[in-house]
Chain A
Amino acid sequence: MMSKLNYLIGVSLKRKIKTKWFVAANILLALVIIGVSNIDSIISFFGGDFNKKQLIYVVDNTEQSFDLFKDQLNLVEENFKQTEDSSYEIKLYDKDVENAKKLIEEDKKTWIVVFNKDPETTISATVISEGYIDAIEYQLVSSAINNTKVALATMNSDLPLEEVAKLYSPITIAREYLDEDKLSEEESMGAIMSAVFPIIILPFFMLVIFLVQMIGAEVNDEKSTRGMEIIISNVSPETHFFAKIIAGNLFVLMQGGLLLLFGGMGLLVRKLLGGNSIIQGFGDDFGSFITKVLDNGLSGQLVYIIPLTIILMILTFISYSLLAGVLASMTTNTEDFQQLQTPIMLILLLGYYLSIFASLLKGATFIKVASFVPLISAILSPSLLVLGQIGIIEVIISILINIAFNWLLIKYGLKIYKIGILNYSSKGLWKKMFKALKTNS
Chain B
Amino acid sequence: MLKVSNISKSYGEFLALDNLSFTVKPGEIFGLLGVNGAGKTTAFRIIMGLLDADQGEVTLNGKKIDYSVTDRIGFLTEERSLLTKLTVKEQCLFYGTLKGMSKEKIISRMDELLERFQVPEYRERKIKELSKGNQQKIQFITAILNEPELLILDEPFAGLDPINVELFRKEIIKMAENGSMIIFSTHRMEHVELFCKKIVVLLRGESVLEGYLSDIKEKYRKKNIFVKGDINTENIKKIDGVLGVIEKSDEFEIKINDSEVVTKVFAEIKKSKDIAKFIVEEPSLNEIFVSKVGETYDE
A234 within 8 A of B: yes
Q: Which of A221, A225, A232 has the most CB of B within 10 A?
A: A225
A236 within 8 A of B: yes
Question: In the complex, A218 Cα to B84 Cα: how many Å?
Answer: 12
Question: In the complex, A236 Cα to B67 Cα: how many Å?
Answer: 7
* A229-B50, A229-B75 known; A234+B98 contact, CB < 8 A: yes
> For residue A1, which residues in chain B have a CB less than 8 angstroms away from its CB?
67
> For residue B81, which residues in chain A have a CB less than 8 angstroms away from its CB?
225-230
Chain B residue with the shortest CB-CB distance to A231: B98
Q: How far is the CB of B86 from chain A (nearest CB, A)?
A: 8
> For residue B71, which residues in chain A have a CB less than 8 angstroms away from its CB?
234
> For residue B12, which residues in chain A have a CB less than 8 angstroms away from its CB?
428
Q: Name B222-255 residues within 8 Å CB distance of A.
A: none
> For residue B100, which residues in chain A have a CB less than 8 angstroms away from its CB?
4
> Residues 135-156 of chain B: 1 if any A CB is under 8 Å from the residue's CB, otherwise 0?
0000000100000000000000
- A422 close to B50 (CB less than 8 A): yes
> For residue A226, which residues in chain B have a CB less than 8 angstroms away from its CB?
77, 79-81
A150 within 8 A of B: no
Task: Give the size of the chain A interface in residues (CB under 8 angstroms).
Answer: 21
Question: In the complex, A283 Cα to B283 Cα: how many Å?
Answer: 88
> Residues 1-45 of chain A: 1 if any B CB is under 8 Å from the residue's CB, otherwise 0?
100100100010001000000000000000000000000000000
A294 within 8 A of B: no
Question: In the complex, A222 Cα to B91 Cα: how many Å?
Answer: 12
> Residues 45-60 of chain B: 1 if any A CB is under 8 Å from the residue's CB, otherwise 0?
1001111000000000
> For residue A227, which residues in chain B have a CB less than 8 angstroms away from its CB?
81-83
* A4-B98, A226-B77 known; A233+B49 contact, CB < 8 A: yes
The B interface, classified by DSSP as helix, strand, loop or mixed, is loop
Chain A residue with the shortest CB-CB distance to B127: A225
> For residue B73, which residues in chain A have a CB less than 8 angstroms away from its CB?
233
B134 within 8 A of A: no
- A232 close to B50 (CB less than 8 A): yes
Q: How far is the CB of A349 from chain B (nearest CB, A)?
A: 31
> For residue B98, which residues in chain A have a CB less than 8 angstroms away from its CB?
4, 7, 230-231, 234-235
Question: In the complex, A428 Cα to B13 Cα: how many Å?
Answer: 13
Q: How far is the CB of B170 from chain A (nearest CB, A)?
A: 24
Q: Can you list 29 A-B pairs, Cβ within 8 angstroms, ordered by A? A: A4-B97, A11-B94, A221-B83, A225-B83, A225-B84, A226-B79, A226-B80, A227-B81, A227-B82, A227-B83, A228-B81, A229-B45, A229-B48, A229-B50, A230-B75, A230-B77, A230-B95, A230-B98, A230-B142, A233-B49, A233-B50, A233-B70, A233-B75, A234-B67, A234-B99, A235-B67, A236-B67, A422-B51, A428-B12
Chain A residues at the B interface, C-beta cutoff of 8 Å: 1, 4, 7, 11, 15, 221-222, 225-236, 422, 428
Chain B residues at the A interface, C-beta cutoff of 8 Å: 12, 45, 48-51, 67, 70-71, 73, 75, 77, 79-85, 94-95, 97-100, 142
- Using A229-B77, A233-B50 as known contacts, list a sample of 17 further A-B pairs with CB atoms less than 8 Å apart, ordered by residue number in A: A4-B98, A7-B97, A221-B85, A226-B79, A226-B81, A227-B82, A227-B83, A229-B45, A229-B48, A229-B81, A232-B50, A233-B49, A233-B70, A233-B73, A234-B71, A234-B98, A234-B99
**A-B complex: 9 closest residue pairs judged by Cβ atoms:** A234-B98, A226-B81, A226-B79, A233-B48, A227-B83, A230-B81, A227-B81, A229-B77, A7-B97
